[in-house]
Amino acid sequence: MTKKIENIDLKKAQPFIKWVGGKRGLLSQIIPLLPKTFNNYFEPFVGGGALFFELYAQGKLNGKNVYLFDINAELINAYTMVKENPFELIKKLHVFKKKHSKEYYYEVRAWDRDENFLEISALERAA
């Protein structure tokens, strides 16, 4: 069942993850260098998405084809889950929050080192 997100101003959306090498501090220098008009927006190193979210908030991506990429497959998985399954992701995050402890943190952190990591659901890996 798909739920609608109502009464949410998506123009206020911001990066949901901090990323090493983030562009947030450079936005005032990067944005003036972008072309004034374009049809497609490609971001090959999306990371936390600071540039994407800023351009979206400014309305510069309205009606554009947007393509976000990163070499980190799990980061792209997180973006996919936020886009396609936000309510289930939030529920899973609440489960993790209830289990929060130092021990649980280290248990979850070790998951990607396990040879069966990809058997964990995409939703759980994103959370």
Report all structural domains of the chain as residue ranges with CATH numbers, in order of start.
Answer: 24-71 (no CATH), 72-127 (1.10.1020.10)
Which strand (E) or helix (H) includes residue 95? helix 86-98
Contact 14, 53 (CB under 8 A): yes
Write out pLDDT tens, residues 20-74: 888 888 999 999 999 999 999 999 999 999 999 999 999 999 999 999 999 999 9
Tokens standing for residue 79: 């973006």
Percentage, residues of the chain above pLDDT 70: 91
Residue with tokens 């393509």: 67
Contact 27, 54 (CB under 8 A): yes
The whole model's pTM is what?
Answer: 0.79
Q: What's residue 92's pLDDT?
A: 92
